[in-house]
Amino acid sequence: MQNKETARKLLNFFVNFNSHMKIYHNYHNDSRPITEQQFKTMLNLKILERCTLKELSEKLNLSSSSTCIMLNKLDEEGYITRESDTKDRRNTFYSLSNKGQEFLNEDLDKKLDIIGSRLEKLSEDKLERLISSMNEFQEILKEIKSL
């Protein structure tokens, strides 16, 4: 029973955290050129640098078809590049284009400025506790994931 209650609290935490992240994603008007999911996709492409559709789908926890549709849209906007594998033409590699990297860097800077300005309002003690808690939380999530 305690595990179920802990799971419920964790789920509530994720919902609340996701709501906060949406605020940071929508930091300005609704004329954003990309959706929140496209932003996450571009961020993962930045981290992975170059990947296949399957790798990206697994990282995003989305179906290949959903990821493919999103990549087509990002390609139309010029945010990503596609490169066929010279050894196996069935494989296509995806990465951020220069335009995509530039856009993502500017968008990340704006988000970090907003989050940073809110963090400045915390006392040094609370900020240290937050950082420590985040690090510990990440370690626990890694452990849970590997079980």
CB-facing half-sphere around the CA of 26: CA atoms within 13 A: 10
Q: How confident is the model at residue 111 (pLDDT cuts 50, 70, 90)?
A: confident
pTM: 0.76
* Domains present along the chain, CATH in parentheses: 2-146 (1.10.10.10)
CA distance 50 to 100: 13
d(Cα 147, Cα 139) in Å, to the nearest integer?
Answer: 13
Q: Is the pLDDT assigned to residue 96 strictly greater than 80?
A: yes
Residue 29: the pLDDT is 47
pLDDT tier at 107, thresholds 50, 70, 90: confident
Tens of pLDDT, residue by residue over 54-94, are 999 999 999 999 999 999 999 999 999 999 888 888 889 99
Percent of the chain having pLDDT more than 70?
A: 93
